[in-house]
Structure 1
Amino acid sequence: MDDDRPLFILAGNGPYANRGCEAIVRGTTKILREHFKDPRFICISHFRSEGQYQEQCLRETDRAIVHFAPSSTLSKKGVIQNIWKPETWRKVFQYSFNRDAFNYTNMIPHLGGASAVLSVGGDNYSLDYGVPTLFTSLDDLVLAHEKILAIWGASVGPFSALPDYELYMSNHLQKVTGIFARESVTVEYLESIGVSRNVYPVADPAFLMDPVKPEEEIPIEAGAIGLNLSPLMAKFVTGGDLEQWTTMAAVIIAEVAKKTEREVFLIPHVTNPDSNDHTFMQKALSLIPGKNENITLVSPRYTAAETKWIISQMAVFAGARTHATIAALSSGVPTLSFAYSIKAQGINRDFFGHNAYCMDPKDLDAKIVADRIISMLNQETSIRMDLRERIQGIQRSAMHAGKGLKQLIREN
């Protein structure tokens, strides 16, 4: 019976169009299956449209996962048609009182039977995308129902740009049942603002996602270079000027292809309508003169696991999206991270003990990028040996999160 199987709610994530969000889910289910008997999963994620939600439901490959879209808005037409129902007035009140909390009302009927709620998403608890009220409201709702709440495999902060908000977050985070921090920079930051009692150092669950070879053959020559460049980087490289960043990206791609004299694969990792790596790199590619026969733009149709397999075939990978670099590192591929936040720096430091394979946005010059990739190609054998020695420890750390969660459930 289903009642005998533990239920975990994975809330706050983005859609699978963000391969990192899918990778978190795949890694998390692997962890929980290792530590709990035949678990069930409800994913309540934030979708860009009803069509995107329906597509994700149809394409889900794990039968233990059920998807729900959050109640993000109230339809005026729906309110008018059902104005006579008490339930409609309850929803109007909830929406008016706290729109962020209203997003998670679909979760409430399932809270009673849940073993824990995992707030997933990687870097939701930061200022990278604005003040994270959408996620603190999730926390408040779960804690108000006296359920176990884990901020799961995440980077947190910094909030120092807003001192008053940082104080609020310090108090808020101390109330969370457990914070499973995916890198040491987060652990150190949390300690600096007085949050340590409930912090569990782990590694990102995406390190455990298994690659899956696509059904159709993808011709990849030995020694190919993988590049992932995102429109999001414009915020950090050109102060938000997307056109200028697109031009810069075109020069970087061309310089890497020219200097390495190798096949270059442009590999998208996020293909949401409002932040689409494929569209961005397609535009950058169109700005490069000539035929560019040694540059291939990879299709956006591949899943996270298939994309990881493609990345695993590269001699060296350089990427902006954090989970694209995690896919490369966990596949033993020498990886250059374009690090615009603490998460990339922390993950690299935990992996290698240094940040020599990170590049700051202000250093993102085409010649420097190409030279760094060539340098890593020259050290490919030694870097791969180093990766092989370290990856098992990182994966054990990711798997250890399940043990910590099990302990929390027992104690609560």
Structure 2
Amino acid sequence: MVRERSGVVVAGASDDTGNLGVTALNRSILAALHHHRPDLEITVFDFGQGERVDTCRVGDTEVAVRRCAHRPGRRYWRSDNLSTARALARVGPRVGPAASLARARACLDIGGGDSFTDLYGPQRFAFIAALRRLALGVGTPLVLLPQTYGPFRSPRRRAEASRIVRAATQCWARDRRSFEALTDLVGDAFDPARHRLGVDVAFALPPRRPADAVLEALGAWSEPGTVGLNVSGLVYNDPRARERYGHRLDYRVVVDELVRRLLAEGIPRLLLVPHVHAAPGEIESDRTACEAVRDAVDPSGRRIRIAPDLDADEIKWVISRLEWFCGTRMHATIAALSSGVPTATIAYSLKALGVFESCDAGDHVADARELDENEALEVVLASFARRHERELVATAAERQRRRALDQMADILEVVG
């Protein structure tokens, strides 16, 4: 007897990576699914061990989930290895992630929001593509949640991405520029019912107030008047970042000078906000980058403080209290924009502009690939000068929040 499929798999949004942007996607997807279908069975693919029953706190709600481990790499003896699961599924037995996919009515895959590209190297693209091929291989409808598509440096990987989006049941882009890239990938298979323009799901992330002890430690830095800055360790800590991402400017020079200029403007407090937690000294570590900025500009720490390591919804609450925010990590800026905080970004790739344009804030984007140091500082400081335009930002934020919730209702109609 064939077992009836039930529930959904949520992929590409594991909450155990240390990247608060990916955690924000996880919590936002769970919040939207629970909002529309509180009884829906949800399996989250993560990097834990085996299959487990768990709950995730989303705002003030506990959402029941089943967790299923999945991994890339060459440890082929593991049942959670995607290559092993895919090979076994071809000949019959379905184990680990293949079994979870085969039980589900759909796989909702967001690919970390921006990882369906070879910009971050061939290994990450291979991992994202392998999971999507596995879902298609076991006959599970694949829905690509709102995300960025590309860019692709390799024609071979671009062709593979094209095959995947053509085979998917539905594909959503998170902004108009990403939608244009999706349309290009789909080519003559474009179908307006299957290929949709949406918004980033994190616009609907519910904020959560941190514990009293955290707020006491932050003190005045969680009060109105504080300005916030996210520094990306991925770019700041990497001596080859300029070459790797094709930047015209030196990111370290821009960030350090921006902090000096903000302090010279007389701001009372600057809160540096890490959005990726990694071991000290690792290139990905935002905290390592923030410490370097503080030590270079204000070693006494009198006017600069670094936010503690919090969960994605808690750091959104902290960001929502700021007078103005500038960030490089995409979902740090979305936490600000979706809270109605006037926001700028020093963007290291194309993904930022489309999201900011969707909030009528395209002129607050300093593109590191296009501008030199002085030009980027001019854009960011012009945004800072307009920090009192909160009503315009709040209107756009509410519009995007409603769209983020409404699009999940459309997606669930496809799931059935």
Tell me the TM-score normalized by structure 1.
0.81
Q: What's the CA shift for 1:401? A: 2.4
1:356 is aligned with what amino acid?
D
Residues 246 and 283 in structure 1, CA contact (< 8 A), matched pair in contact too: no
Q: How many equivalent pairs are there?
A: 381
Unpaired stretches in structure 1, ≥5 consecutive residues: 80-86, 99-103
Map 1:187-336 → 2, pairs under 5 A: 187-193=179-185, 194=187, 196-197=190-191, 198-216=194-212, 217=215, 218-219=218-219, 220=221, 221-234=223-236, 238-239=242-243, 246=252, 249-273=255-279, 274=282, 275-288=284-297, 290-300=299-309, 302-336=310-344
Aligned residue for 1:381, secondary structure, equals coil
Aligned residue for 1:157, secondary structure, equals coil
Match 1:343 to one of 340, 351, 363:
351
The equivalent of 1:12 in structure 2 is 12
- Distance (Å, rounded) in 2 between the aligned partners of 1:248 and 1:294: 19
The equivalent of 1:124 in structure 2 is 115
Q: What's the CA shift for 1:46? A: 4.3
Question: What do the CA deviations read for 1:187-236 (whole angstroms, capped 9, x no partner)?
Answer: 11222331632212111111111111111223234221100011222468
- Distance (Å, rounded) in 2 between the aligned partners of 1:10 and 1:96: 18
Q: What's the CA shift for 1:335? A: 0.4
Residues 353 and 365 in structure 2, CA contact (< 8 A), matched pair in contact too: yes
Map 1:7-406 → 2, pairs under 5 A: 7-14=7-14, 15-46=16-47, 60-61=56-57, 62-72=62-72, 94=84, 106-120=96-110, 121-131=112-122, 132-159=125-152, 161-193=153-185, 194=187, 196-197=190-191, 198-216=194-212, 217=215, 218-219=218-219, 220=221, 221-234=223-236, 238-239=242-243, 246=252, 249-273=255-279, 274=282, 275-288=284-297, 290-300=299-309, 302-352=310-360, 355-362=362-369, 363=371, 365=373, 368-369=376-377, 372-382=379-389, 384-406=390-412
Q: What's the CA shift for 1:304? A: 0.5
Q: What's the CA shift for 1:367? A: 8.6
1:344 is aligned with what amino acid?
A
Aligned residue for 2:315, secondary structure, equals helix
Question: What do the CA deviations read for 1:138-190 (whole angstroms, capped 9, x no partner)?
Answer: 1111111111111112111122x333432332233101111121111111122
Residues 9 and 42 in structure 2, CA contact (< 8 A), matched pair in contact too: yes
- Distance (Å, rounded) in 1 between the aligned partners of 2:87 and 2:104: 26
1:229 is aligned with what amino acid?
V
- Distance (Å, rounded) in 2 between the aligned partners of 1:284 and 1:381: 26
- Distance (Å, rounded) in 2 between the aligned partners of 1:306 and 1:348: 22
Question: What do the CA deviations read for 1:53-111 (whole angstroms, capped 9, x no partner)?
Answer: 99x999943441233332445669xx6xxxxxxx98x989938969xxxxx95212222
- Distance (Å, rounded) in 2 between the aligned partners of 1:33 and 1:95: 29
Specify whether residues 381 and 111 from structure 1 end up closer, same or farther in structure 2 by C-alpha distance, changes over 3 A only. Answer: same
Residues 74 and 92 in structure 1, CA contact (< 8 A), matched pair in contact too: no
Specify whether residues 345 and 257 from structure 1 end up closer, same or farther in structure 2 by C-alpha distance, changes over 3 A only. Answer: same
1:224 is aligned with what amino acid?
T
Q: What's the CA shift for 1:379? A: 2.4
Residues 206 and 326 in structure 1, CA contact (< 8 A), matched pair in contact too: yes
- Distance (Å, rounded) in 1 between the aligned partners of 2:242 and 2:257: 14
Residues 317 and 336 in structure 1, CA contact (< 8 A), matched pair in contact too: yes
Specify whether residues 223 and 92 from structure 1 end up closer, same or farther in structure 2 by C-alpha distance, changes over 3 A only. Answer: closer
The equivalent of 1:101 in structure 2 is none
Q: What's the CA shift for 1:245? A: 5.1
- Distance (Å, rounded) in 2 between the aligned partners of 1:335 and 1:327: 10
1:111 is aligned with what amino acid?
L
- Distance (Å, rounded) in 2 between the aligned partners of 1:257 and 1:46: 41
CA-atom RMSD in angstroms: 3.4
Higher relative contact order (CA 8 A, sep 6+): 1
Residues 47 and 71 in structure 2, CA contact (< 8 A), matched pair in contact too: no
Q: What's the CA shift for 1:355? A: 1.7
Q: What's the CA shift for 1:366? A: 7.1
- Distance (Å, rounded) in 1 between the aligned partners of 2:200 and 2:179: 13
The equivalent of 1:84 in structure 2 is none
Residues 251 and 368 in structure 2, CA contact (< 8 A), matched pair in contact too: no
Residues 101 and 140 in structure 2, CA contact (< 8 A), matched pair in contact too: yes
1:19 is aligned with what amino acid?
L
Residues 315 and 377 in structure 1, CA contact (< 8 A), matched pair in contact too: no
Residues 256 and 366 in structure 1, CA contact (< 8 A), matched pair in contact too: no
Tell me the TM-score normalized by structure 2.
0.81
Residues 237 and 361 in structure 1, CA contact (< 8 A), matched pair in contact too: no
